[in-house]
Structure 1
Amino acid sequence: MGRKIDIPLARFGIGDVVRHKIFDFRGVIFDVDPEFANSDEWYEAIPEALRPSKGQPFYHLLAENAESSYIAYVSQQNLVRDESEEPIDHPAVGAMFEALEDGSYRLRDQLRH
């Protein structure tokens, strides 16, 4: 029998609108990794004092701040649910999701598994 792998439970799901705890941006989740799955270079670029543990869920976001929209990769410890009910202003949102409803986006039917 194989060893049981302990994966922390993801607090957020695809379509949830979240906000970063430290930096001023928010976004909608479009993918979840059960633990860190990016490059060592990306991880090492984070200042050591802010570097999150790799053993937690990481989220791919269609993100926005006051200046631009972009893709972000963020640890669970650095995210909180965004309660503003404001839509995310990112050009890819409409292709991936239906309209914002009750604080979350619904993945378009053709993208569901």
Structure 2
Amino acid sequence: MKPRQAKFTIGQVVRHRVYPFRGVIFDVDPVFANTEEWWLSIPEDVRPRKDQPFYHLLAENEENEYIAYVSEQNLLPDRSGLPLRHPQIEELFEPGADGQFAVKNNALLN
């Protein structure tokens, strides 16, 4: 299986297609790179394919901020323009164009 080109980019604000959370992308895996246990914990009828990009998000819902690992098929661009409150955003990013974020110098190299 040849990995697909990632549809979304680091610093882009996205939302989940099904679940009520959104966030900013801080890393991309060209194909699934988490544990088999994690993948099998997803109900089979909604389990994503492994042969697609998976994104690491600084994610948030109405109650919490957390790190999420999400398949490309389950993400959509977030064009709401609403601010994000995840506390790690300021460590890694600065405001960029069109509501997206720009990586701070060397922030993602550690």
Q: TM-score, normalised by structure 1?
A: 0.91
1:85 aligns with 2:81: yes
1:9 aligns with 2:5: yes
Unaligned runs of 5+ in 2: none
- Give 1:86 shift: 1.6
Extract structure 1 runs of 4+ deviating beyond 3 A.
Answer: none
Supply the AA of the counterpart residue of 2:90: G
Identical residues among aligned pairs (%): 53
Q: Which deviations, in whole Å up to 9, do the C-alpha atoms of 1:54-83 show, x marking residues without a partner?
A: 000000000000010000000000000000
- Give 1:48 shift: 0.5
- Give 1:89 shift: 1.1
Count of residues in Structure 1 that have an aligned counterpart in Structure 2 = 109
CA separation of 1:19/1:44 partners in 2, compared to 1, >3 Å: closer, same or farther?
A: same
Partner Cα distance (1:78, 1:10) in 2:
13
1:28 aligns with 2:24: yes
Structure 1 or 2, whichever has the larger Rg, is: 1
Q: TM-score, normalised by structure 2?
A: 0.94
Q: Which deviations, in whole Å up to 9, do the C-alpha atoms of 1:5-53 show, x marking residues without a partner?
A: 6221100010000000000000000000000000011001100011000
1:41 aligns with 2:68: no
Supply the AA of the counterpart residue of 1:70: Y
Unaligned runs of 5+ in 1: none
1:52 aligns with 2:31: no
Does the 8 Å contact 1:87/1:100 carry over to 2?
no
Q: CA RMSD in A?
A: 1.3
Partner Cα distance (1:103, 1:25) in 2:
17
Partner Cα distance (2:108, 2:63) in 1:
31
Partner Cα distance (2:7, 2:67) in 1:
20
